[in-house]
Amino acid sequence: MDADIILEFQNVTKAFPGIVALDDVSFKIRRGEIHGICGENGAGKSTLMKILSGVYPHGTYEGKVLYNGEELKLEGSAIHQAAQKGIAIVYQELTLVPVMTVGENIFLGREPTVRGSITWDHVYAEARKILNKYKMDVHPQDQVKNLGMGKMQMTEIAKALSEDAKVLILDEPTSALSEAEVDQLMSIIRTLKEHGVTCIYITHKLEEFFKIADTVTVLRDGKVVTTQDTKDLTSEKLVKYMVGREMKERFPQGDRKPGEKIFEVNDLHAEDPDKGKEVIKGVSFDLRKGEILGIAGLMGSGRTELVMTIFGEYAKVTSGSIKLNGKEITIKNGHEAMEYGISLVPEDRKRHGLVLIQSILKNISLPNLDKFSSFMRVNQDEELAQSTKFAKSLSIKAPNLFVPAESLSGGNQQKVVIAKWLMSGPKILIMDDPTRGIDVGAKFEIYKLMNKLAEEGISIIMISSDLQEVLGMSDRVMVMCKGSSNGMLDIKEATQERIMTLATGLA
Amino acid sequence: MNLSTFGQQFRKNIQTYIIIILLVLIWGIFAVVTKGGYLSAQNISNLFRQMTVTSLLAAGMVLVMVTGGIDLSVGKLAGFVSVVVAVFQHDIWYALIPDKPILAAALSVLIGLIVGTLFGIFQAYIISYLRVPAFIVTLGGQFILNGGILLVTQGKTIAANQPGFAEIAQGYLPPTAGWILGVIVVGILFFMMFRNRKTKVKYGFENKPLVQDLLKTAFFAVVIFLYVFIVNQYNGVQVPVLLLAVTVIIVSYVSTNTKFGRYAYAIGGNREAARLSGININKQIFLIFVLMGLLSGLAGVVLASYVGYGTIAAGQGYELDAIASCVLGGTSTLGGSGTIFGAIVGSLIMASLNTGLQMLNVAPAWQYVLRGFVLVLAVIIDVQFKKSNN
């Protein structure tokens, strides 16, 4: 047995009714390396990690997992066993208790006791030791709910490490982090490596593999495509391995011909009704028929707040005007927005877009029940027929429309959200970060769909954190900075540098 | 239908099957222990009559719980309505229209429904528009109504057993009428089945094999005829059970086939997603609690007629029976899922335990203990089944 190998998968197969999630997976992870796992949604990454962390205990899958040369047999309270053996996992959705302090969270469930009682000074001292060791700039006595996403992430990692982890699995750790926070996280991961911790790193952001990973394993449809050193890889190669075909272009070419001005926002100011704080401080822009208008800006620049306010569901407009087809309108809630033909695909599809426990069918039809209802009765046959049409045209991949939305992959969930808003027949479709957390292939499909909609005359407002996406998809780009609009660029004059200059308020 | 789709169907409806199996089990045990006495026509007839008040409350409670709320005031509201109705029957109508029992009964029903609905509106407004948690508003409501009952009755028992009014919860259809009704209902079932298949074809959907649909409908037909046959051997089809059946069909239809019902499930499943889908959350929650008030009013009327008088203890603890029925029937306490049908079967289980234990002369203290155990046990089984299915 090679002593250098800490983990080895040997012919691991895991099948669920109707789908083989992992198909004869074999690869090795070296001790002390940062090992990237890459693949589209549904490729089997999560299933693999769930086997490692004990969510799927030994015996529920075929094949072997070797840990330090011995077969890993997680049984009984398997999740707890995995942690005891030094395998820790940090999930994409953080598992911290917001009202507790950093120190309390780190030792949650394992509070060090002296003669049966907890000495908090001791807890905080231990927490500080861990935080200092890995150079994490977090104060143990801060309440978690007051921290930014980056520091929450650090707390979560510290919590995982406090059990003396040998292997740390990071599942999409950067999906909610700002760029500065990502850099901080990267340096922490390098510190971990110096301390001999093996990291398994999962992400959709391919450039991160090149920043940090030593080796990358690519999964596709439950099979290992390749395991290679990062230095031998390029992002084109990675994409090719992932989707199994060459992706010449990330953004499909559209044939958009923006028409007359249909929507206009003039010097809009709005304040948060709960806190009484002004969140929108002077935004002006216009939107043309069949145009894709990109909105760029840093986290906290008020992008989401702006579109939610336009949709009538967030801040109270204090001054300024919104005009639709030249006529001034006020939108008091989402229902009114829909009646004006404005729809919103929200940023967080799980929290704001979907009723996860309900079927695809019910999710698609939810805002559109008026279309199938006479007086009180919902015509469920008509509902199914219409929803099927939209599900087909968006090629939502699911056994049927009666499966719950929670059973779908991220990309397909996003398609369900888009389907439900397309059915409402919008003239203006606001899409808040429409491709967040979904894989390259699904992104491409969504881009194609956006092009098609714009060609059909629907105007799209697209918010995005991904500058390349903004540049690749928009006709014009509005840049926001600290709650106000700080410039409108035609796509021909827009560059990453110009957008960043405007977004950071340097110009 | 091949075996695997049957398995899928079974798993999908597992919750319903579990409680029906539990019900049959309970009936079986009591039948054996009472040497068949439990399944006598008289006992069956009384059992179904007994469950009406709680079932009416449970039918409304399902929708409240589906939106993620709770209503602790329904028992006392039904109790309050029952004493108000008793006062009208006993004192006011007696003085104003002493020789018109039917009109008096009708007016009493109307007043009961109005009182229930008004109190529902009062609570609904505070819950939805003033945003006070339902738990607290309805807990307060319970106290208020308890006081109201004492004020109205002055601590006395008021008779409500006038001939016309008593029919509501104590009346029976003549046997022939029962059979005619049964035949009509079965006819409607078959008619609807065929109409359903026709619209499916119109929309180009695949129909289930005709045999399967026929068997299913035939099964319900047999259940209905069997029921009519049994209760006819005693006094006939019970008026309150008929009232309950009609109410349940309406509420159940509302919950699955109207926007109002669909919005309730969406709100319970994900309030934010529902809000951003253009649903007026406040209005929907308001309407749900008003409906709950109306159903509590109806339950109060039936209660007054059932016991024949209004007392200070009226409706005591009924809200907990209603909640237990919902939970037994698979309603999630977190909101988002639950069916009216399930809650009614849950309510039937609670009533079955009651009558069975009473027949066996089990001390009231032990009746409580056993009912508590069955409730928790049923949920344990349900949770375990779901776990092994995942």
pLDDT in tens, A205-233: 788 899 999 999 999 888 899 999 999 98
Q: Which of B252, B275, B277 to mutate to test the interface with A (most CBs of A within 10 A)?
A: B277
Helices (H), A195-310: 206-212, 235-243, 303-310
**Residues of chain B contacting residue A338, judged by C-beta atoms under 8 Å apart:** 278
| Same domain assignment for residues A160 and A49 | yes
| Same domain assignment for residues B144 and B51 | yes
Domain count, chain B: 2
**Residues of chain A contacting residue B11, judged by C-beta atoms under 8 Å apart:** none
Q: What band does B152 get if pLDDT is binned at 50, 70 and 90? A: very high
Q: Which of B270, B275, B387 to mutate to test the interface with A (most CBs of A within 10 A)?
A: B270
A311 touches chain B (CB under 8 A): yes
In a domain, B205, yes or no: yes
| Same domain assignment for residues B207 and B334 | no
Q: Which residues contact A331 (CB under 8 A, 6 or more apart)?
A: A310, A311, A312, A322, A337, A340, A342
Domain count, chain A: 3
**Residues of chain B contacting residue A17, judged by C-beta atoms under 8 Å apart:** none
Q: Nearest CA to CA, how far is A358 from chain B (Å)?
A: 7
What phi and psi, each to the nearest 5 degrees, are found at residue B46? Answer: -65, -40
SS3 A62: strand
- Asked whether the beta carbons of B68 and B336 are under 8 A apart, the reply is yes
| Same domain assignment for residues A94 and A141 | yes
Q: Which residues pair with A461 in a beta bridge?
A: A293, A430
| Same domain assignment for residues A325 and A203 | no
CATH of residue A155's domain is: 3.40.50.300
In a domain, A348, yes or no: no
Q: How far apart are CA A125 and CA A156, in angstroms?
A: 17
Residue B183: the pLDDT is 96
Q: Which residues pair with A38 in a beta bridge?
A: A218
The residue of chain B with its CA nearest to that of A345 is B276
Q: Which long-range contacts (CB under 8 A, 24 or more apart) does A390-394 make?
A: A390/A364, A390/A419, A390/A422, A390/A423, A391/A360, A391/A364, A391/A416, A391/A419, A394/A418, A394/A419, A394/A422, A394/A449
Q: Hey, are the CB atoms on A333 and B280 less than 8 Å from each other?
A: yes
- Residue A248, pLDDT > 90, answer no
Q: Nearest CA to CA, how far is B256 from chain A (Å)?
A: 9
| Same domain assignment for residues A282 and A420 | no
| Same domain assignment for residues B45 and B155 | yes
Domain boundary among A243, A276, A295: A243
The residue of chain B with its CA nearest to that of A363 is B266
- A34-38 and A167-171 as β-strands: parallel, antiparallel, unpaired? unpaired
Residue B23: the pLDDT is 92
Q: Which residues pair with A288 in a beta bridge?
A: A261
In a domain, A85, yes or no: yes
Q: Hey, are the CB atoms on A376 and B260 less than 8 Å from each other?
A: yes
In a domain, B285, yes or no: yes
Domain boundary among B237, B264, B289: B237
| Same domain assignment for residues A207 and A100 | yes
Q: How far apart are CA B171 and CA B236, in angstroms?
A: 9
B333 touches chain A (CB under 8 A): no
Range of weakest confidence among A1-5, A495-499, B45-49, B204-208: A1-5
Q: Hey, are the CB atoms on B269 and A356 less than 8 Å from each other?
A: yes
pLDDT digits (tens, 9 = 90+) for B247-302: 999 999 999 999 999 999 999 999 999 999 989 999 999 999 999 999 999 999 99
Q: Which of A369, A402, A416, A424 to mutate to test the interface with B (most CBs of B within 10 A)?
A: A369
Q: How far apart are CA B78 and CA B300, in angstroms?
A: 4
B205 touches chain A (CB under 8 A): yes
In a domain, B51, yes or no: yes
| Same domain assignment for residues A123 and A182 | yes
- Asked whether the beta carbons of A321 and A263 are under 8 A apart, the reply is no
Q: Which residues pair with A278 in a beta bridge?
A: A271
- Residue B12, pLDDT > 80, answer no
Q: How far apart are CA B19 and CA B66, in angstroms?
A: 19
| Same domain assignment for residues B228 and B165 | no
Q: What band does A18 get if pLDDT is binned at 50, 70 and 90? A: low
| Same domain assignment for residues B87 and B102 | yes
**Residues of chain A contacting residue B280, judged by C-beta atoms under 8 Å apart:** 333, 335
The gap between the terminal CA atoms of chain A, to the nearest Å, is 60
In a domain, A419, yes or no: yes
Q: Hey, are the CB atoms on B270 and A377 less than 8 Å from each other?
A: no
- Residue B203, pLDDT > 70, answer yes
| Same domain assignment for residues B92 and B156 | yes
Q: Which residue has the higher pLDDT, A300 or A358?
A: A358
SS3 A412: helix
Residue B3: the pLDDT is 47
Minimum-distance CB partner of B199 among A338, A370, A381: A381
| Same domain assignment for residues B132 and B280 | yes
Q: Hey, are the CB atoms on A376 and B259 less than 8 Å from each other?
A: yes
In a domain, B264, yes or no: yes
- Residue A325, pLDDT > 80, answer yes
| Same domain assignment for residues A466 and A320 | yes
Q: What is the mean pLDDT of residues B207-227?
A: 92
B390 touches chain A (CB under 8 A): no
In a domain, A347, yes or no: no
The residue of chain A with its CA nearest to that of B337 is A357
In a domain, B198, yes or no: yes
Q: How far apart are CA B385 and CA B390, in angstroms?
A: 9
Q: Which residue has the higher pLDDT, A223 or B55?
A: B55
User: ∠B217-B218-B223 over CA atoms, to 5°?
Assistant: 100
| Same domain assignment for residues A136 and A236 | yes
Domain boundary among A226, A243, A260: A243
Residue A163: the pLDDT is 76
Helices and strands in chain B: count of H runs, count of E runs: 18, 2
Q: How many CB pairs under 8 A join A and B?
A: 83
Residue A41: the pLDDT is 65
User: ∠B236-B241-B246 over CA atoms, to 5°?
Assistant: 125
A382 touches chain B (CB under 8 A): yes
Which structural domain, as residue segments, surrounds residue B147? 38-171+239-389
| Same domain assignment for residues A164 and A25 | yes
| Same domain assignment for residues B283 and B166 | yes
- Residue A362: which of A430, A434, A419 has the closest Cα? A419
- Touching A: B residues 224-263, CB under 8 Å: 254, 257-260, 262-263
- Asked whether the beta carbons of B108 and B88 are under 8 A apart, the reply is yes
Q: What is the mean pLDDT of residues A231-259?
A: 78
| Same domain assignment for residues A69 and A143 | yes
Residue B105: the pLDDT is 92
| Same domain assignment for residues A83 and A170 | yes
Q: Nearest CA to CA, how far is B273 from chain A (Å)?
A: 4
Please give the sequence-ordered ranges of beta strands (E in DSSP) within A421-474, or none if there are none: 428-432, 459-463
- Residue B326, pLDDT > 70, answer yes
- Residue A9, pLDDT > 90, answer yes
Q: Which residues contact B134 (CB under 8 A, 6 or more apart)?
A: B64, B69, B70, B71, B127, B289
Q: How far is CA A49 from the centre of its chain?
A: 18
Q: Hey, are the CB atoms on A351 and B273 less than 8 Å from each other?
A: yes
Which structural domain, as residue segments, surrounds residue A16? 5-243
**Residues of chain B contacting residue A358, judged by C-beta atoms under 8 Å apart:** 265-266, 269, 336
| Same domain assignment for residues B328 and B230 | no
Q: Which of A339, A366, A375, A377 to mutate to test the interface with B (most CBs of B within 10 A)?
A: A366
A406 touches chain B (CB under 8 A): no
**Residues of chain B contacting residue A420, judged by C-beta atoms under 8 Å apart:** 277
A361 touches chain B (CB under 8 A): no
Q: Hey, are the CB atoms on A366 and B202 less than 8 Å from each other?
A: no
Q: How far apart are CA B326 and CA B348, in angstroms?
A: 11
Q: Which helix (H) or strand (E) holds A326?
A: none
Token pair in block for residue A278: 């002004």
Residue A505: the pLDDT is 74
- Touching B: A residues 34-73, CB under 8 Å: none
Q: Which residue has the higher pLDDT, A3 or B44?
A: B44
In a domain, A349, yes or no: no
- Residue A3, pLDDT > 60, answer no
User: Above pLDDT 90, what percent of chain B?
Assistant: 75
In a domain, B90, yes or no: yes
Residue A1: the pLDDT is 43
- Asked whether the beta carbons of A354 and A405 are under 8 A apart, the reply is yes
- Residue A421, pLDDT > 90, answer yes
Q: What is the mean pLDDT of residues B358-363?
A: 91
Q: Nearest CA to CA, how far is A446 from chain B (Å)?
A: 21
Q: What band does B343 get if pLDDT is binned at 50, 70 and 90? A: very high
- Residue A93, pLDDT > 50, answer yes
Q: Which residue has the higher pLDDT, B301 or B378?
A: B301
Residue A108: the pLDDT is 85
In a domain, B10, yes or no: no
Q: How far apart are CA A320 and CA A330, in angstroms?
A: 11
Q: Which residue has the higher pLDDT, B236 or A81?
A: B236
Range of weakest confidence among A339-348, A465-474, B106-115, B211-220: A465-474
Q: Hey, are the CB atoms on B257 and A377 less than 8 Å from each other?
A: yes
DSSP string, B281-316: HHHHHHHHHHHHHHHHHHHHHHHHHHHSEE-TTTTT
Range of weakest confidence among A103-107, A251-255, B26-30: A251-255
Q: How far apart are CA B55 and CA B50, in angstroms?
A: 9
In a domain, A265, yes or no: yes
pLDDT digits (tens, 9 = 90+) for B101-124: 889 999 999 999 999 999 999 999
Q: What is the mean pLDDT of residues B293-315?
A: 94
In a domain, A188, yes or no: yes
- Residue B8, pLDDT > 70, answer no
Q: Hey, are the CB atoms on B203 and A384 less than 8 Å from each other?
A: yes
Q: How far apart are CA A156 and CA A417, in angstroms?
A: 30
In a domain, A69, yes or no: yes
| Same domain assignment for residues B143 and B183 | no
**Residues of chain B contacting residue A376, judged by C-beta atoms under 8 Å apart:** 254, 258-260
**Residues of chain B contacting residue A378, judged by C-beta atoms under 8 Å apart:** 257-259, 262
Residue A247: the pLDDT is 54
**Residues of chain A contacting residue B265, judged by C-beta atoms under 8 Å apart:** 355, 358, 362
Q: What band does A321 get if pLDDT is binned at 50, 70 and 90? A: very high
| Same domain assignment for residues B154 and B296 | yes
- Residue A250, pLDDT > 80, answer no
- A459-463 and A428-432 as β-strands: parallel, antiparallel, unpaired? parallel
Residue A366: the pLDDT is 93
- Residue B348: which of B50, B120, B73, B40 has the closest Cα? B50
| Same domain assignment for residues A405 and A463 | no
Q: Which helix (H) or strand (E) holds A439?
A: none
CATH of residue B323's domain is: 1.10.3470
Minimum-distance CB partner of A378 among B204, B257, B278: B257
Residue A134: the pLDDT is 85
- Residue A71, pLDDT > 80, answer yes
In a domain, B8, yes or no: no
Mean pLDDT, chain A, integer: 87
Q: What band does B1 get if pLDDT is binned at 50, 70 and 90? A: very low
Residue B2: the pLDDT is 46
- Residue A45, pLDDT > 70, answer yes
Q: What is the mean pLDDT of residues A1-28?
A: 83
What phi and psi, each to the nearest 5 degrees, are found at residue B320? Answer: -75, -35
- Asked whether the beta carbons of B241 and B171 are under 8 A apart, the reply is no
| Same domain assignment for residues B362 and B266 | yes
A395 touches chain B (CB under 8 A): no
